[in-house]
Amino acid sequence: MNKPVILIGGGGHAKVVADCILSCGGCVAGVLDDRLPPGHETLPGIPVLGSIAEYEKYAGDCSFIIAIGSCEVRRRLAGELQVSWRTAIHPTAAVSRFAEIGEGCYIGPHAAVNACAVIGAHSIINTGAVVEHDNIIGAYSHISPGAILGGSVTIGEGTQICMGACVRNNIMICGGCVIGAGAVAVKDIDISGTYAGVPAKLLKQIPENNT
Ligand SMILES: CC(C)(COP(=O)(O)OP(=O)(O)OC[C@H]1O[C@@H](n2cnc3c(N)ncnc32)[C@H](O)[C@@H]1OP(=O)(O)O)[C@@H](O)C(=O)NCCC(=O)NCCS
């Protein structure tokens, strides 16, 4: 039987993750969050139980999911917390039986993950995003609402493809990138940074020592 779920983070993204778990018939035990006071309700009936440092109290009885949109924060917390991770897939998402979904991922309403796609751990495939066949999505990535990745796209770890952006089929985008809302990536990107526009161009590079 599925254990009750603890959400790490109680902000906006936690609302959709909680809703997803409930829609699958799961149980959300509560939220751990360093910024919200205990008792605050992320959704009605889903209270903040304490700070993230208190996770060990729940580690035996619950599974966990990091419900925070920032790729960098998900990467850090996944390394720090020794827990059993829960994957949340909304009942309206279309996920191929031939796709591989890593632990701790969230796949939102009406998202599509097609055959032979591989989604790395703790990634978000958000509302209505399309991840076509043979994509390889690195861990801690975020494919935002309405983004479309053509077939055989490879995305490095911790990259965010923002709302409504498109990535042409067979393109490779390195880790640590942000592809801005509405952008269209038509060439491989091998320098970490923020890209925007049609076709997508570098807005700002991530400094090399920014790990
Ligand atoms: C790409 C993005 C991350 C850049 O954010 P930022 O670093 O704060 O950039 P700024 O807003 O300071 O904008 C810098 C410049 O780039 C331009 N710009 C920013 N985003 C752009 C976009 N998506 N397309 C085209 N131009 C863009 C701005 O107009 C600005 O131009 P200017 O200097 O001529 O005024 C952001 O604009 C974006 O697209 N966010 C979407 C986030 C998202 O999808 N979240 C999912 C939530 S579920």
Separation of CA 203 and ligand 1 centre (Å): 9
Separation of CA 180 and ligand 1 centre (Å): 6
Burial (CB count <10 Å: 0-12, 13-18, 19+), residue 193: middle
pLDDT at 210: 58
Which residue is closest in CA terms to ligand 1's atom 29? 196
Q: In testing the pocket of ligand 1, which one of 74, 125, 203, 210 has its CB within 8 Å of the most ligand atoms?
A: 203
Percent of the chain past pLDDT 90, that is, above it, reads: 96
pLDDT in tens, 55-84: 999 999 999 999 999 999 999 999 999 999
State the average pLDDT for the chain.
Answer: 96
2: confidence class by pLDDT, cuts 50, 70, 90: confident
Separation of CA 162 and ligand 1 centre (Å): 10
CATH of domain 89-199: 2.160.10.10
The answer to whether 193 and 180 are in contact (CB under 8 A) is: no
206: confidence class by pLDDT, cuts 50, 70, 90: confident
Catalytic residue numbers, as ranges: 133
Percent of the chain past pLDDT 70, that is, above it, reads: 98
Answer yes or no: is pLDDT of 154 > 60: yes
pLDDT in tens, 174-202: 999 999 999 999 999 999 999 999 999 99
What is this structure's pTM? 0.96
Parts of the chain belonging to CATH 3.40.50.20: 5-86
Answer yes or no: is pLDDT of 168 > 70: yes
In words, the CATH class of domain 5-86 is alpha beta
pLDDT at 211: 47
Separation of CA 116 and ligand 1 centre (Å): 32
Ligand 1 neighbours (beta carbon < 6 A): 126, 144-145, 162-163, 178, 180-183, 194, 196-197, 203
Parts of the chain belonging to CATH 2.160.10.10: 89-199
pLDDT in tens, 130-144: 999 999 999 999 999
pLDDT at 140: 98
Ligand 1 atom, smallest distance to 194 CA:
1
Measured CA to CA, the distance from residue 101 to residue 164 in angstroms comes to 22
pLDDT at 208: 66
